[in-house]
Amino acid sequence: QVQLQESGPGLVKPSQTLSLTCTVSGGSISSGSYYWSWIRQPAGKGLEWIGRIYTSGSTNYNPSLKSRVTISVDTSKNQFSLKLSSVTAADTAVYYCASERNIRHWFDPWGQGTLVTVSS
């Protein structure tokens, strides 16, 4: 059973770069059956897909964030990472990592989520 766990700083200053890592256990991140995605949710609001990476390193980003987002993968550590630059208070949210089935593209499972607050 694949499990995902987010990690990273819970507080980031405005204009700096948010960096999070998702560790995959119980399965290989190199499996061709999945993409690896990041999704966020501001408090009391809905879900926003940030982007995804395939084991090959191929990425897709949400156009609304594309200029600020980088997703990378480290197959040796079974991890993938998110970097979001030039953050503002609007980037304060719970950030989830999730596996995205490469057919039909549903998200399952999800990590538990990590709250990132942007504040000075």
Partner 1 sequence: DIQMTQSPSSLSASVGDRVTITCRASQSISSYLNWYQQKPGKAPKLLIYAASSLQSGVPSRFSGSGSGTDFTLTISSLQPEDFATYYCQQSYSTPHTFGQGTRLEIK
Q: Would you tell me which residues interact with partner 1 (CB under 8 A)?
A: 37, 46-49, 52, 60-64, 96, 98, 100-101, 104-113
Does residue 69 contact residue 16 with C-beta atoms inside 8 Å? no
> Distance between CA 98 and CA 119 in Å, rounded?
26
Query: Strand 34-41 vs strand 48-54: parallel, antiparallel, or unpaired?
Result: antiparallel
Q: Least distance from C-beta 11 to partner 1, angstroms?
A: 19
Nearer to partner 1, 16 or 27 (CB): 27
Nearer to partner 1, 16 or 68 (CB): 68
Q: Least distance from C-beta 59 to partner 1, angstroms?
A: 10
